[in-house]
Amino acid sequence: MSSTSQRKVIVKDPQTSSPKPSQPQPDFNPNIPPVEKKAAYANIPLPSKGLPYRKFYDKNTIAIRPLELEEVKAVKAIFGGGSNLKLNSVLAGVFQDFRTDQLTFGDYLYCLAWLRENTYMAAPIEVPWTCPECQTENVCTVHLQKMTMIELPDNFREPMVIQLPVSKKEVRLRLERMGDDEIVDRYLKGMLNKTEWDDSEEWLPRLALTIDNGADIHVNVQFLQTLAPEDVTVIEAVGDEFEHGLPSLLTDTCTGKKSDGSKEVVCGFVNKRIRFDFRVLNLLPVADYRGFVRNGVRFGG
Ligand SMILES: [Zn+2]
């Protein structure tokens, strides 16, 4: 996987990798600054069970710690003009043995949920969606505590090898990684000569990165473009089949009204496919959130 970061992954034994106990506080001495309090790492289950990382990691848990105050401020600062890439760099220190770009989308999602639950005051997440029937802007309320972690099956292995139904070609596939964001970003900047794009433009290069053949993204995008739509659909379906972490499809009912001839009626459109779009950071509190972090330190103006 390509990445600009050259940092090595160090897989540590949990016994030796736990954070050092903070130094004993000296008696009052105005010349010594207070010892910085570091949050402790916790081992939490990986929805993927670590199966996609077997080349360099042999555990089914990940060591993670809550955000520290400086990180909370940094997360807050990237709202509005935020992107996954900025969030990835802010969160670089919260995983003990991983770079954020190595994690699967599903594992990352689950870790973000953990960070929210363990850093901020408990509050439901509000996911906006626009009704396709009446264009009302609805808000679907999500309670993380009620969500069930989705795990990969025990026999999951990468690459996933499938034969395409139309071309009969065999392709090797892998799951999406958070590092894909950076590659797609670079690719689209080069191809479209602009800095912002929508999901429909991201979709193909993102899918191209799941083809695990060592080829460049340009080559695999072109390969996808030569395939019959049925073949492309099958490639996409493999990724969906192994969705893990948190459910990204939510159900909600439209509260809006629409005109039915002469009178207004409640729309009531049931949307079963609201994508819980974690790329817009909606797992972390919104920009004007004036909360407390868990240790009771107040931030925000
Ligand atoms: Zn509606």
- What secondary structure does DSSP assign to 26-40, as a single string? PSP-TTSPPPPPPPP
3-state SS, residue 182:
helix
From the CA of 288, how far away is ligand 1's center (Å)? 28
What are φ and ψ of residue 117, in 5° steps?
-65, -30
Write down the pLDDT at residue 275. Answer: 67
**C-alpha dihedral over 261, 262, 264, 266, to 10 degrees?**
-40
Write down the pLDDT at residue 141. Answer: 83
From the CA of 134, how far away is ligand 1's center (Å)? 4
Write down the pLDDT at residue 301. Answer: 29
H or E element at residue 225: helix 217-226
From the CA of 138, how far away is ligand 1's center (Å)? 8
Write down the pLDDT at residue 201. Answer: 85
Sequence-ordered list of residues with C-beta below 8 angstroms from that of 222, at least 6 positions apart, any chain? none
3-state SS, residue 222:
helix
The whole-angstrom separation of Cα 60 and Cα 175 is 17
Distance separating the N- and C-terminal Cα atoms of the chain: 41
From the CA of 113, how far away is ligand 1's center (Å)? 29
| Angstrom distances, CA of residue 43 to CA of 7, 19, 296 | 22, 13, 23
From the CA of 142, how far away is ligand 1's center (Å)? 19
* Exposure string for 83-113, b = 16+ CB within 10 A, e = fewer: ebebbbebbeebbbbbbbbbbbbbbbbbbbb
From the CA of 264, how far away is ligand 1's center (Å)? 12
From the CA of 274, how far away is ligand 1's center (Å)? 13
Contact between 221 and 205 under an 8 Å Cβ cutoff? The reply is yes
Which among 133, 168, 173, 174 is positioned nearest to 48, based on CA atoms?
A: 174
pLDDT tens digits along 242-274: 989 887 777 889 988 877 777 888 888 888 777
Dmax over CA atoms of the chain, in Å, equals 79
Q: What is the pLDDT along the chain (301 residues), one digit of tens a residue?
A: 333 333 333 333 334 444 445 555 445 555 555 555 567 899 999 999 999 999 999 999 999 999 888 888 888 777 655 566 777 888 888 999 999 889 998 898 889 888 888 887 777 777 778 888 889 998 888 887 788 889 999 999 999 999 999 999 999 999 999 889 889 989 998 888 877 777 778 899 999 999 999 999 999 999 999 999 999 999 999 988 998 988 777 788 998 887 777 788 888 888 877 766 544 456 666 433 443 333 333 333 2
Write down the pLDDT at residue 35. Answer: 54
H or E element at residue 103: none
The whole-angstrom separation of Cα 59 and Cα 97 is 11
From the CA of 128, how far away is ligand 1's center (Å)? 13
From the CA of 281, how far away is ligand 1's center (Å)? 25
From the CA of 293, how far away is ligand 1's center (Å)? 37
From the CA of 251, how far away is ligand 1's center (Å)? 13
Write down the pLDDT at residue 235. Answer: 95
Residue with tokens 């290069």, as numbered in its chain: 205
The whole-angstrom separation of Cα 240 and Cα 15 is 36
| Angstrom distances, CA of residue 111 to CA of 38, 39, 92, 119, 187 | 19, 16, 12, 12, 27
From the CA of 277, how far away is ligand 1's center (Å)? 20
